[in-house]
C-alpha cells in the first residue's frame, strides 16, 4: 500500500472561524456558528485550510498531524495525478487565508517538496522509485474587506492584489486613508481577508512506479510583511 501524506512545517494557524455540530435523537438538531472579527486594534492572522473531503477544516500544524491523500490517489482517474511536465495543476489540495487590518505590502509564498518515502536514516539518498515529483501553483485568489464586502473600506482603506510572475507566490497591497502603502501602524476599522487555493498534481508515472510505503511532502507557507 502506498500512503501519501502532506506534512506542514512552517505556518501560522489559529482556530477555525466556523464550526458545526450535529446530534441525532427523535429530533435532529444542527447548529452553525459564525464569528465576526473585531477590528479594534492592529490585527494579522494566517490560516491553512484542507480541501480534502471539502470539509474546510483548519490545519493544526502545532501537532504536525499530516493530511492523508491516500484515498484521493488510489481512485480511478484521480484528479491529483497527471504529468508534471505538461499538466497545469487545477485540483485544489489546500488553501490559505490571511486576515488583517493594517496598511502595508504583503506576500505569501508556498513551498512543497517532492513526495518521498519515509526512511529512518536522515542521510538516505533517494532513488527515482522512492520519490514522486509534483507540480503546484496558487489559484483562485481574491481579497475583500469583511464588512464592506468590497476592496474599499468605509474608512478609506483600499486593498488590491498585485501581479506576480511566481505561480507559487501571492502578493497584495493595503493602502491607508492617506494613500500610504507602507506599514506605519495605521489600521482600518474593517478587516481585509485574502484567500487563495493551492492546486497540486503528482506525476502519475512516478506514483505508479514507486515502491510501496509511506510518503511525505513537506509544505511551507511563508507570510512576509513590508
Spatial distance between the Cα atoms of 196 and 166, rounded to a whole number of angstroms: 14
**pLDDT tens per residue across span 21-67:** 333 334 455 555 555 666 678 889 988 888 887 555 667 666 666 78
Cell matching residue 172 = 497584495
More confident residue, 88 or 185: 88
**pLDDT tens per residue across span 92-133:** 999 999 999 999 999 999 999 999 998 888 888 888 999 999
Give residue 58's pLDDT: 67
What is the pTM assigned to this prediction? 0.81
* Least confident among 6-10, 139-143, 199-203: 6-10
Q: Where are the beta strands (DSSP E) in the chain?
A: 2-10, 19-23, 29-33, 44-50, 67-68, 81-82, 92-102, 104-112, 115-117, 131-132, 134-145, 158-162, 169-175, 187-203, 213-225
Q: State the chain's mean pLDDT as an integer.
A: 82
Spatial distance between the Cα atoms of 215 and 81, rounded to a whole number of angstroms: 15
**pLDDT tens per residue across span 126-162:** 889 999 999 999 999 999 999 999 999 999 999 999 9
Give residue 119's pLDDT: 86
More confident residue, 180 or 61: 180
Spatial distance between the Cα atoms of 179 and 81, rounded to a whole number of angstroms: 46
Between the alpha carbon of residue 184 and those of residues 40, 83, 181, 222, the distances in Å are 16, 46, 9, 22
Give residue 89's pLDDT: 95
* Residue 188: burial class (beta carbons within 10 Å; 0-12, 13-18, 19+): buried
Cell matching residue 88 = 497545469
Q: Does pLDDT of 11 surpass 60?
A: no
Give residue 148's pLDDT: 94
Give residue 10's pLDDT: 39
Q: Does pLDDT of 12 surpass 80?
A: no
Alpha helices in 48-191 (DSSP H): 70-73
**pLDDT tens per residue across span 70-86:** 888 888 889 999 999 99
Amino acid at each position: 500500500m502506498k500512503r501519501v501524506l502532506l506534512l506542514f512545517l512552517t505556518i501560522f494557524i489559529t482556530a477555525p472561524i466556523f464550526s458545526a455540530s450535529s446530534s441525532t435523537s427523535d429530533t435532529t438538531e444542527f447548529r452553525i456558528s459564525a464569528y465576526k472579527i473585531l477590528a479594534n486594534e492592529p490585527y494579522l492572522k494566517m490560516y491553512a485550510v484542507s480541501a480534502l473531503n471539502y470539509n474546510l477544516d483548519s490545519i493544526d500544524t502545532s501537532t504536525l498531524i499530516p493530511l492523508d491523500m491516500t484515498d484521493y490517489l488510489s481512485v480511478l482517474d484521480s484528479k491529483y495525478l497527471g504529468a508534471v511536465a505538461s499538466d497545469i495543476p487545477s485540483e485544489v489540495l489546500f488553501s490559505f487565508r490571511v486576515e488583517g487590518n493594517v496598511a502595508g505590502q504583503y506576500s505569501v509564498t508556498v513551498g512543497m517538496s517532492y513526495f518521498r518515502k519515509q526512511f529512518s536514516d536522515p542521510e538516505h539518498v533517494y532513488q527515482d522509485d522512492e520519490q514522486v515529483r509534483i507540480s503546484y501553483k496558487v489559484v483562485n485568489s481574491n481579497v475583500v474587506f469583511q464588512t464592506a464586502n468590497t476592496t474599499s473600506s468605509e474608512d478609506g482603506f483600499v486593498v488590491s492584489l498585485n501581479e506576480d510572475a511566481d505561480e507559487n507566490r501571492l502578493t497584495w497591497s493595503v493602502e491607508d486613508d492617506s494613500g500610504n502603502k507602507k506599514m506605519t501602524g495605521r489600521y482600518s476599522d474593517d478587516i481585509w481577508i485574502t484567500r487563495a487555493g493551492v492546486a497540486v498534481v503528482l506525476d502519475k508515472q512516478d506514483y505508479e512506479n514507486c515502491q510501496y510505503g509511506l510518503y511525505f511532502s513537506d509544505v511551507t507557507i511563508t507570510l512576509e510583511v513590508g
